[in-house]
Chains A and B, each alone.
Chain A
Amino acid sequence: MKTMKSKTLPGLIAAATITAAGVAIADATGDEAKVSVKVMADALHLVMDSDRSVYTKKIVNRLVKKEKVIKASEHFEDDKALVLPAQMFRFGSELAMKRAEKMEDVEFSYTLQSLWPINKQNAPKTDAEKEGLKYVAENKGKNYYATEKLGGKTYFTAVYADTGVAPVCVSCHNKHPDTPKKDFKLGDVMGGVVIRIPIDS
C-alpha cells in the first residue's frame, strides 16, 4: 500500500505539471495575435499626429512663416493657398472612413474637436467628448478612454490632447475672426483628437 501511494503521487504531480506547461505554451503561442482597442487607438493617434506635425512644421510653418512664399487658407482653392493642418487632418479622416467602408474588419473614425472651436460644429457634443477634452487639457501628458453608445452602436472612445506644436498654430488661431480664445501659447493644449472604434458591448 505504501509503495502504491508513493508511486502514484509523483505520477499525478508529473501529469499535472506537464498539462499545465502545455496549456501555458498553447496560450502564449495563440493562432491569432490580438491587439486591444486601446493599443490600436494609441497607435492610430501616433500616426495621424506625427503626419500632421510633419505637415505643419515642414510645410506650413516653413513656407508660410519662414520663407513667406505662400499663404495657408481655409479657402485654399480660391486663394491658391496651402490647405490648413486641421483640414489636412480632416481630409485624411474622411478618406480613411470612405476607404474603410470597403474593408470588412477595419472600422474606426477620428475627429478634431476643441473646447475653444473656431467652427462651432466642432465643439464637444457627447458626454465623453466633453469630459475627455476637459481631462486632457487639465492633465498634460494623459489620455482619456471611455465607452460610448451612439446611434445604437457601442464605441471605445479615446481622447488625446492636441497641442500647438508650431508658432503658426497659435498665431493663426489667436487671430482668427471666429476664435473664442485669443491667448494660446506655443505648447498649449488647443483641443483634442477623438478616436472611436466600434466594439461589441
Chain B
Amino acid sequence: MKFSRYFNYWSAWLFVSLLMGSWLAYAMLNDTANKTIFMPGELSPGHHQLADACDACHTDAFGGGEVLQQACVECHGKDRVKPFDSHPVKKFKDPRNADLLENVNALQCITCHTEHKPEITLKDGLTQPVDVCFHCHQDIAEERPSHQGMPFSTCKDSGCHNFHNNRALYTDFLIKHLDEDAYLAEMKLPDREFSTILEEIVEYPRDRYPLVRLDEDDIDAATKLRGDSEIKMDWLETAHARKGVNCSACHGAPGTDGNEDAWIANPDHTACRGCHGIEVDRFMQGKHGMRLKHGLAPMTPAQAQLSMKQDSSHNELTCTSCHGAHRFDVNEAAVEACLGCHDDGHSLAYRQSPHYELWQKEIGGGAEKGTGVSCASCHMPRKSYDVSEWMSRTVVDHNQSASLSPNSKMLRSSCLHCHGLEFALGALVDSSMIDSNFNGSPDVDVQSMKLARDEYTRRQQQAEEDDDSDMFGF
C-alpha cells in the first residue's frame, strides 16, 4: 500500500520537526537558555553583553521601529538632548526637512546604529558610510571656504566634528581656548560632594540613621552575625561609620538576636542604590553594569572583548568588586580595582605614566587632593548632576562609556581641568600617546585648532574693517 511506503518518511519528518520546534521554543521561552541561536548577526561591541536579553531592545514582538526607538531612548535618552547632542531629534521634525529624512531618517537611532550587522558596523556602532554627513551638508564648501577640498569621509576625524556631542569642539569654544598653555596655572580636579551636603538632602533617612559618628558600641548587627574583627575595623574607618550608616543600612533589618532571618549576608547593588542612586544607575548604563540593568548575571572579565587578566576571569562585577565590601576604599577603586582585571596596552602602561606619579603623590599625602590622575579621573570623571529641580552635586560618573568614545567627550569632564585645549586635543588625537598612556607630549597638528585660529584672525580683521571695538555683537 502506498500509505505505508511513505508513512515512515512522514513520521520521521514530523518527529524531527517537533524536536527542533520544542528545542527552539525552549530557547525562546526559558529565561536562562542561550538565545543567540536567534540572532541574525553578532551584536556591536557596545551591546554584545546583552545577547541573552533579547527583550532589552525587543520589548514587544510586534512593534517595529517605534519599539526599538523607545528601547534606545530608555538607556541613551538623557544624552540625546542639548547641550550634549548637536543633532537632537527635534531638529528634524519640521516638515521642511521631510526631503532630508528620505535620505537619512534622523528621527530614529537605528538609521545609523543598526545592530546584528557586523559586516557594516564601524567604530562606535555606526552602520552608515563614514561620509553620511554629505546628505545634509553638501554645500559646506561654499558656506565655509576653509573646508574646500576636504572629503566628507574626514568630518568625523578626531578633533573636528562629532554628530552627537560637540561640546568641546564648536568653533567659539575652540576660539575661547586658543592660546592656552599645555599645563594650566591651577591643575585640580573637582571634589566629590556627598558627605558635605548630606544635611541638605531632604530624602535622606536621618530618623533611622542620624548623621553622627558611630563606634563599636553602636553596631546594630546581631551578635553572631557580626563576622570577624577585621570587618568591624574596616567599617569603622569608612565614611559610612563617620556619618552614621550602620550595618542594617546595607544588610537589611537590624539582625537583632532572634531576627537573623531578615539579614542579607551579601547585599547586592540594590542595597547601595538607596543612597547612591546616581552612581548605581550610571553604573548600570555602562559596560560594567549593563547586564545588571536587564536582570542578567553580573558581567565577568571572561565575557569581555577587551584583554583581561586570566586570574580575574570569573570575578563578578558589582559595587563591591571594585569598592571592597566594608572598606569601600575609593582610592583603591580608582586604580587597583581597574588594573586587577584590565590587561590592555593602555592600562599596562599606566604605572609608568606621569599621571600615575601625580596619583601616588596625592594618595601618599604629598600633594593636594584632586591633583593626582587615577584611571577614574578620566574614565569615571566627576560631573555635576541635577539631583532634583533645585539641587545639583558633583558625583563620580560610574558610566565609563559616557566619556569613552569619541574621546573628545573626555575633554570637558577631565582633560581641560589641567590642560589647555590644543594640548589636550593633540593628546587624544595622537594614538601613540594613548598607547603609552600619555607619556610625553603630543606630536600632531590639530587641524581644528588651526582653522579656529584662522577664523579668529579673520574676525579680527573684519572688526577692524568695520571699525568696531565690540567684535562679537554683545
Contact = CB atoms under 8 A, between A and B. Distances in A.
A177 interface: yes
Interface in A70-92: 71-75, 77-78, 81
Nearest to B465: A182
Contact of B474 (A72, A78, A120, A125): A72
22 contacts: A71-B474, A75-B170, A78-B83, A78-B173, A97-B90, A109-B95, A121-B136, A129-B96, A150-B98, A151-B95, A151-B98, A151-B101, A168-B474, A171-B473, A172-B474, A175-B466, A175-B468, A176-B473, A177-B458, A177-B459, A177-B462, A198-B95
Contacts of A71: 474
B473 A175 contact: yes
Contacts of A5: none
Nearest to B95: A150
A151 B462 CA distance: 41
A108 to B, nearest CB: 10
Interface string B112-137: 00000000000000000000000010
Closest 10 pairs between A and B when the two form their complex, measured CB to CB: A151-B98, A172-B473, A94-B90, A175-B473, A71-B474, A120-B143, A150-B95, A150-B98, A177-B459, A72-B474
A102 interface: no
Interface string A126-165: 1001000000000000000000001111010000000000
Interface residues of B, number: 28
Contacts of A94: 90, 93
B471 interface: yes
Contacts of B471: 175
Contacts of B459: 177
Interface string B86-113: 0000100111101101100000000000
Contact of B99 (A97, A150, A175): A150
Given A75-B172, A78-B173, A177-B455, A155 B95 contact: yes
Q: How large is the interface on A (under 10, 10 to 19, 20 to 34, 35 or more residues)?
A: 20 to 34
Interface core residue of B90, B455, B466 (most chain A CB under 10 Å)? B90
Contacts of B83: 77-78
A interface majority secondary structure: mixed
B216 interface: no
A74 B96 contact: no
A194 B463 CA distance: 33
A149 B474 CA distance: 40
A97 B466 CA distance: 40
A81 B459 CA distance: 21
Interface of A: 64, 71-75, 77-78, 81, 94, 97-98, 109, 111, 120-121, 125-126, 129, 150-153, 155, 168, 171-172, 175-177, 182, 194, 196, 198
A196 B96 CA distance: 9
B6 interface: no
B472 interface: yes
B389 interface: no
A176 B458 CA distance: 12
Interface in B414-469: 455, 458-459, 462-463, 466, 468
Contacts of A98: 90
B66 interface: no
Contact of A175 (B95, B98, B143, B472): B472
Contacts of B470: 175
B94 A111 contact: yes
